[in-house]
Amino acid sequence: MKISDYDATHVGEILSGHGDWFGAQLLRLIAKADQRNRESIRVAFPDYVAAYEAWFATDHDAHWDDRGLIRLEEDNETAK
């Protein structure tokens, strides 16, 4: 299954909790997976794992919140 253009360009927003479709849930699962499980997911969904890894490798300041979602630093600032 190929990743959609939308999912590929909005990984950070999706990891922050945007979306409840399959691809959004899959990206959040990939983000939570350890390396061994991420490699297992890569077998079936290589485009999704690659998109997550590309996003993760970029310069971003992200933190996990208590719901297990990525909270981007700019979101934290606006929430204050």
Residue 7 to residue 46: CA distance in whole angstroms: 14
What is the domain count for the chain? Answer: 1
Contact 19, 70 (CB under 8 A): no
**What's the pLDDT score for residue 58?**
82
pLDDT in tens, the chain (80 residues): 899 999 999 999 999 899 999 999 999 999 999 999 999 999 999 999 999 999 988 856 566 566 656 665 554 444 44
CA 59 to chain centre: 14
d(CA 24, CA 30): 10
Write out the two tokens for 36: 């061994």
Report pLDDT for 75.
46
What backbone phi and psi angles, to 5 degrees, belong to 72? -75, 150
pLDDT at position 57: 85
Question: What is the domain extent for residue 44?
Answer: 5-79
* Distance in angstroms (rounded) separating the CA atoms of residues 34 and 9: 23
pLDDT at 1: 87
